[in-house]
Amino acid sequence: MEKQLTIIIPAYNEESSLKSFLPEVITFCGQHSYSLIVVDDGSRDKTYETLKELTANVDFVRIFHHKVNKGYGGAIKTGIQNTLTRCLITIDADGQHYLEDIFKLIKKMKETDADMVIGSRKGQKVHNYYRHVGKSIIRSFARLTMTVPIYDINSGMKLCDTALAQKYIALCPDDMAYSDFIALVFLNQKHLVVEEPIRIRERRDGKSKISLGTAYSTILAIIHILLLFNPMRFFLPIAMACILFGVAWGLPFLLMGRGVSNGAIISILSGLILVFLGLIADQISMFRKERLK
């Protein structure tokens, strides 16, 4: 695997961080015969100029430049589309990841024959409170709506099979929700996804792009993937709640001989409509799954 790995780094306004971090990555890749792809995602500072300067005459590094900002996921997708090795790993441009931890993920993949290995930050010191709250909301909502055996689905360090990643990136969003979405797609498609503890450090420079708004967009993405792969898990609980609420509301009136209230009828009908919508969505989901095979 060591001869068949590409490191992908998405970068947006990371001029200062890359000046200190990228030379370290280049040296690391050169020592271990890794390929390196860095995607400048329409940065407004001198990120692209810095990349060209630091990678001049380095044949194992490829730089891609977006004229406009496509988003974190959009940058990674560009890197994945241009990956030629069997496996790839994504890391952040802010220097928070220890490059030596890549070996731990490679070892874990070999031992488990996993399709994706996620670098887990569980138990690590929290450097940004709002970022921590946002990630907690994402994890809680993901577990509430689907079976997620992984703790750190939104980790930026993910090692995975290139062919599978290239197969699924068309389903993934271009924003920060990409990191969660790609892990959930692998899980929902019954690929083996495992975790391996990694270390993190504070960003070397620059400003984090993650906020509570990221959590909101990610929750919407989780709902989207739920509707994409298992819509009945979304529709059925809501439908049953409406039906049970309607029955509980209307039954006392019925027992008293006062008929059934309009509110109870509307609630029950709403539940039945949601059941039928869920069945239709489930049929559409089956066709989508067939297209992924």
Name the region of 61 (left: φ>0; alpha: ψ -120 to 50; beta: rest). Answer: beta
Q: Name the residue ranges covered by the structural domains of the chain.
A: 5-229, 232-292
Q: Cα separations (Å) of 201 from 24, 55, 98, 124, 205?
A: 15, 24, 8, 9, 12
C-beta atoms surrounding 63 within 10 Å: 16
Q: What token pair was written down for 287? A: 């066709």
pLDDT band at 1 (very low <50, low <70, confident <90, very high): very low
Kindly report the pTM of this predicted structure.
0.77
pLDDT tens track for 201-221: 876 565 555 555 556 666 777
Name the region of 190 (left: φ>0; alpha: ψ -120 to 50; beta: rest). Answer: left
Class of the domain covering 5-229: alpha beta
pLDDT tens track for 105-162: 999 999 999 999 999 988 666 555 555 555 565 556 555 555 667 778 888 999 999 9
62, pLDDT greater than 60: yes
C-beta atoms surrounding 47 within 10 Å: 25
The mean per-residue pLDDT over the stretch 63-77 comes to 96
